[in-house]
Amino acid sequence: MTDTAAIYLDYNASTSLLPEALDAMLPYLRGNFGNPSSDHASGHRARAAVEHARQQVAAFFGCDADEIVFTSGGTEANNLAIRGAAEAVNDRRRVITSTIEHPATEESCNWLGRHGWTVARAGVDASGIVRVDDVRKALSLDTALVTVMHANGETGVLQPVAEIVEAARVFGAVVHTDAAQSIGKLRLNVRELGVDLLSLAGQKVYAPKGVGALYVKRGTRLHAVLAGAGHERGLRPGTENVASIVGLGVALDRVGCDLETAATRMRELRDDLWRRLVDRIPGIRLNGDSRRRLPNTLNVQFPGVSARKLLHSLPEIEASAGSACHAGDDAPSPVLTAMGMLPDEARNSIRLSLGRQTTNADVARASEALWLAWQAFTDVREPVFQRVK
CA distance 164 to 87: 21
Contact call for residues 193 and 165 (beta carbons, < 8 A): yes
Bridge partner residues of 157 (DSSP): 293
325 as an active site residue: the answer is yes
Q: Do residues 8 and 366 make contact, with C-beta atoms less than 8 angstroms apart?
A: no
| DSSP letter assigned to residue 72 | S
User: What is residue 330's DSSP assignment?
Assistant: -
Torsion of CA 351, 331, 374, 15, to 10 degrees: 30
Q: Residue 42 and residue 69: Cα distance in Å, rounded?
A: 22
CA distance 339 to 130: 10
Radius of gyration (C-alpha) of the chain in whole angstroms = 22
DSSP symbols for 90-126: TT--EEEEETT--HHHHHHHHHHHHTT-EEEEE-B-T
Cβ–Cβ under 8 Å, residues 141 and 118: no
Residue 98: strand pairing partners: 122
Among residues 211, 195, 254, which one has the least CA distance to residue 59? 254
Contact 323, 334 (CB under 8 A): no
Query: What residues act catalytically?
Result: 325
